Amino acid sequence: MKPVVKYSEKKCVQCIKCLKSCPTDAISIVDHYVHINEEQCIYCDVCIKECPSRILKVDNVHMSETMHQHDYNVALIPTSLLSDMKSYDEFSKICAAILKLGFNEVVQYSDIEGFLYKKAIEESHQKEGIWLTSFCPTINRLIEKKYPTLYDRILPYNYPVEIAAKRIRQRLVGRNVGIYSLCECVGKMTLAKYPFGNENSNIDYAMTISHVFPKINKLKSNDKHVLKMNKYGVKSSVEDLFGNRSLSVVRVEGLNQTKSLLELLEFDRIQHVDLVAMYACYQGCIGGYYLWSNPFEGCYNIESMMTHYHEEMIALDEQEYRIQREFSSHEIKSMKERMDWFMQVNEVLECLPQYDCGACGFANCRSLAQGIVDGKVNIDVCRVRKGEKK
Amino acid sequence: MKKKYTVEKDNYEDAGQASRDIKKTLKAFGLDPKTLKRVSIACYEAEINLVIHSDGGTILFEIDQNGIIHLSFDDVGPGIPDIEKAMTPGWSTASPKAREFGFGAGMGLDNMKNCATTFHIESSSEGTHLKMTFV
């Protein structure tokens, strides 16, 4: 994978807002330069949103450069796109405009989401213990990186958008198809081959909705292209159905709330629940940063179109949606080396104020101590220590 | 590496604080997820026991040279009259207040024993001493 969040030194005022806001302490500032540790980054959008200088960004794929390389182009559109629409008519007009961009087909995947939503509830009720749902790449990565004891509790389902791309590939086998995923968030973008290099994906390209929106808007007319949206899929991506208390399902939105819940789960403190559905964004996927509307009104927009969504369910084969998740451990140090390193870090930590102020360019004193032991910085970067010496 | 924590009797609001810190430290150490899970659950159970049942005490947490985790829980009383009974799943003497907070299901000691590699407990009216190690 290539670096996801791009930083340009120019205009950076080194305000440390990015490193203080990062949910996984992946950011540090060394020698006036922002470093994002790709190993720790969970592809949320918090630093991008927090940056007052607007210099943290994600790359986009430019359709004009890639579409002519394929003889059939497909646009995958997220269910959350509905939240930006005032009516189903408007949604149909937008879909027609997307086709006019040069796509041969616009494909939605709310039916797959609906299937997985029902499957998740069914399976979590049948199997013992608590299960976690996995529709959000950012949440899954958060669990992998910060709550590894829970990684084996994530239901082994592939992402709906990836399943949809695979189905398109199979349907159009033998043709040179370009599959584009319009994304509402950074997390979803990382699932595609380009721009970030997830080579195993069936999705060729990912771009943010806000990136293509101006072009779509220009092409919008009274022409309509009607897509059938599945009611359960729509509901699952706006968290509604997971909020049904009679199903012993807990849903939680936002990274902070999710982290609180995961902490409790690690102590085995949540016991009367079968399924935990987590979303990195407020109101689920409709809280995605790259939608142009807002999730507050968005949930009403989605609700107001309820009569237009159908309830027919599709059936997926197990091999179509189940995946084997492998925990990737990058531990290369031996036990002895790790022990020595850890002891050194703790020794340095004892000399630090442990206010976790971040002024040194590290998110907290422990990160700084690690940085010192790893030879990245000198202890003199600690401003509190310097002040006390005087 | 050693760290000591004090646990107050009946302080339900802060219950679990030591376990949270220990878990955080072990993550920074890079302990493997399976062992981390066992330590976290056992440590939390034991800490809650100190809050609910004891007159207060301390937790000593250590990672030794070989990477083995040691946890010691020492309280100042009132002691467990019948340890064998206390080890029985489902047996609980937790107060209604503790149960209101969702504690006291009676699975604590048994659960801890299952999580730990070695488990040693002794108790008198002077206090209870619980030692666990995790490999």
Nearest neighbour of A267 by CB, restricted to B34, B44, B63: B44
| Chain B neighbors of A327, CB-CB under 8 A | 33
Q: What is the pLDDT of residues A62-115, one digit of tens each?
A: 998 999 999 999 999 999 999 999 999 999 999 999 999 999 999 999 999 999
CA distance A150 to chain B (A): 8
| Chain B neighbors of A146, CB-CB under 8 A | 27
Q: Answer whether residue B12 shows pLDDT above 70.
A: yes
Q: Please answer whether residues A98 and A215 qualify as being in contact, where contact means their C-beta atoms are separated by less than 8 angstroms.
A: no
| Chain A neighbors of B29, CB-CB under 8 A | 338, 342
Q: Which residues from A are below 8 Å from B when comparing CB atoms?
A: 146, 148-149, 151, 263, 266-269, 327, 329, 331, 335, 338-339, 342-343, 345-346, 366
What backbone phi and psi angles, to 5 degrees, belong to B118? Answer: -125, 150
Q: Please answer whether residues B133 and B70 qualify as being in contact, where contact means their C-beta atoms are separated by less than 8 angstroms.
A: yes
Residue A266 CB neighbours (<10 A): 24
What is the ipTM, given to two decimal places? Answer: 0.84
- Beta strand A33-36 pairing with A27-30: antiparallel
SS3 content of chain B, % helix, strand, coil (to 5): 40, 25, 35
| Mean pLDDT computed over every residue of chain B | 90
| Chain B neighbors of A331, CB-CB under 8 A | 30
- CB distance B1–A149 less than 8 Å? no
> Residue A273 and residue A245: Cα distance in Å, rounded?
10
Cα→Cα distances A209→A60, A75, A293, A320, A325, Å: 10, 11, 11, 27, 28
pLDDT value for B1: 87
Helix (H) or strand (E) holding A249: strand A249-253
Reading the block at residue A200, the tokens are 């195993």
pLDDT band at B24; cut points 50, 70, 90: very high
User: Percent of chain B having pLDDT more than 90?
Assistant: 67
> Residue A136 and residue A279: Cα distance in Å, rounded?
6
- Closest to A22 in 3D by CA, of A112, A124, A145: A145
Whether the CB of B19 is below 8 Å from some CB of chain A: the reply is yes
SS3 content of chain A, % helix, strand, coil (to 5): 45, 15, 40
pLDDT value for A29: 96
- Closest to A41 in 3D by CA, of A27, A30, A20, A21: A27
pTM over 0.90: yes
| Chain A neighbors of B44, CB-CB under 8 A | 267-269
Which residue of chain B is at minimal alpha-carbon distance from A340? B65
| Chain A neighbors of B67, CB-CB under 8 A | 335, 338-339
> Residue A163 and residue A160: Cα distance in Å, rounded?
5
Q: Please answer whether residues A91 and A82 qualify as being in contact, where contact means their C-beta atoms are separated by less than 8 angstroms.
A: yes
CA distance A285 to chain B (A): 29
Q: What is the pLDDT of residues B62-110, one digit of tens each?
A: 999 888 999 999 999 899 888 888 888 877 777 777 777 666 666 678 8
Burial of A199 (0-12, 13-18, 19+ CB in 10 A): exposed
pLDDT value for B107: 64
pLDDT value for A235: 86
Which residue of chain A is at minimal alpha-carbon distance from B3? A346
- Closest to A44 in 3D by CA, of A25, A28, A16: A25
Helix (H) or strand (E) holding A116: helix A110-126
Whether the CB of B2 is below 8 Å from some CB of chain A: the reply is no
CA distance B29 to chain A (A): 6
Residue A173 CB neighbours (<10 A): 8
Beta-carbon contacts below 8 Å between A and B: 43
- CB distance B33–A151 less than 8 Å? yes
| A180 contact partners, CB below 8 Å, separation of at least 6 | A61, A63, A73, A74, A75, A76, A103, A203, A204, A205, A206, A207
Whether the CB of B36 is below 8 Å from some CB of chain A: the reply is yes
Which residue of chain B is at minimal alpha-carbon distance from A143? B33
- B-interface mutation test, from A25, A149, A259, A334, most B Cβ less than 10 A away: A149
DSSP for B74-100, written as a single string: EE-S---S-HHHHTSTT-----HHHHH
All residue ranges of chain A with pLDDT < 50 are none
Q: In chain A, count H helices and then E strands.
A: 16, 11
Which residue of chain A is at minimal alpha-carbon distance from B37? A149
> Residue A208 and residue A203: Cα distance in Å, rounded?
14
- CB distance A342–B33 less than 8 Å? no
